[in-house]
Amino acid sequence: MIFRQFFDPVSSTYTYLMASGHGREAVIIDPVKEQAHHYLAAIHALDLKLVRAIDTHTHADHITALGELRDATACVTIMGEFTKASCVSEQIREGEQVKLDGIILQAIYTPGHTDESFSFLLNPARPEAVFTGDVLLIRGSGRTDFQGGDAHKSWDSIVNKLFLLPDEVTVYPGHDYKGWNASSIGEERRHNPRLAGKSQAEYVAIMNGLNLPNPKLMDIAVPANLACGNA
């Protein structure tokens, strides 16, 4: 399997490119507009055909590359069914699968960070990894104070959906701010300080007390992303 993890230093965003082999169909998750040339160069160097581009949710801290990649490769752009981004080619529902040569990604509705956030489970018959967007981060979780976020829903998405996956499933988040690049379901269940040993009420109190400033690009990024980055 071909797997590449890209990092955007401005927004601390991770982007993931996958294909089952050279010359085969590829999918990309959470691409950043400013990094699109890197993705296209990798796709060319690895002799891949980009057929799917996915955003886990409407990002507030960077502009998506969905539109640019679709223009460059004719790929199908995908978001969850509750997105307000009418520009995407397909909207996916809970349990539906994105299929390409040798790879299956199953959609899991995981609201909390936003009300339209989805995670994607790699090869669900024998789960290998889950791409959690901003719902579950490494030793943290995505803020819940804008875009329809809800700390109760975040807890439910993480504890009652993601944490039911096998311990060995690798966690690939949408962001990291401390230098981590991957974790696992078992690690996060045991060591995530917002969740391990905490009740739902304690988690909600933590999330509601963060008092974080809005992302610097929020007023620009959200409208642009509702147009797949082409606004």
For the segment 170-193, what is each residue's pLDDT rounded down to a tens digit?
999 999 999 999 999 999 999 999
pLDDT for 1 beyond 60: yes
- Residue 224: pLDDT band with limits 50, 70, 90: confident
CA 35 vs CA 4, 66, 101: distances in Å? 13, 11, 25
pLDDT for 231 beyond 60: no
Q: Which residue has better confidence, 217 or 187? A: 187
pLDDT at 217: 65
Tokens 């060995």: give the residue.
168
pLDDT at 53: 98
Q: What is the mean pLDDT of residues 46-51?
A: 97
pLDDT at 229: 78
- Residue 225: pLDDT band with limits 50, 70, 90: confident
Q: Show Cβ contacts of residue 97 under 8 Å, excluding neighbours closer than 6 positions.
A: 104, 105, 106, 107, 124
Q: pTM, whole model, 2 decimals? A: 0.94
Q: Show Cβ contacts of residue 21 under 8 Å, excluding neighbours closer than 6 positions.
A: 1, 2, 101, 102
Q: What is the mean pLDDT of residues 121-149?
A: 94
Could you tell me the two tokens for 72? Answer: 């460059």
pLDDT for 169 beyond 70: yes
pLDDT at 147: 82
Q: What CA–CA distance (Å, rounded) separates 112 from 82? A: 13
